[in-house]
Structure 1
Amino acid sequence: MKILEGNAGALTNVKVLDFLRAKGASKDPTRVIAKVAQSEYKVYDYLVDTAASTQTRESINELLASNKQYDLAKAEALNILNIGPVADF
């Protein structure tokens, strides 16, 4: 993964998690070998325990399509994606 333009906009947690995985972040105990900063590992450790670890591009597109009727702002849609709504049955 290559960053084309810095500060181009907000990222979803899924994209951040993908980026950190591409850099070599993992739960592997020998992770000190990878080119990932300690602060990036803290972010990685947090994100793998959130909805971002189970979301896919398809599920994101489906969620955005189903919420189109509500005319949400980009920031609102981003918050919904990052929080990861769940349904209890």
Structure 2
Amino acid sequence: MPTGSEPMTARSPLRARFWLSVWGLAWATFGTVIFALVGRPGWAVACGVLWLVVAVSMAVVLRRMHQGSRWQPGRDVPPYLPPEGRRR
């Protein structure tokens, strides 16, 4: 049940997402190379696109990890207001 303090107490599994990205980059690189050597250019391109998506995801994760756990959005982001009328 939501308590209204979720943004202050929420934790994101960034380390798990980082290591899954590393795993995805390794497999996408492996797939791109193998499919290119075997002569399957369509699959090689698909693995290359997957590699690009995983690399962008990893960049976002690293940026958020670098910001730290105490990062707060700027003044242009409205404050979170808990839903009215809910009681524990």
TM-score, scaled relative to structure 2? 0.29
Bigger Rg over Cα? 2
Task: Decide which structure has greater helix share.
Answer: 2
TM-score, scaled relative to structure 1? 0.29
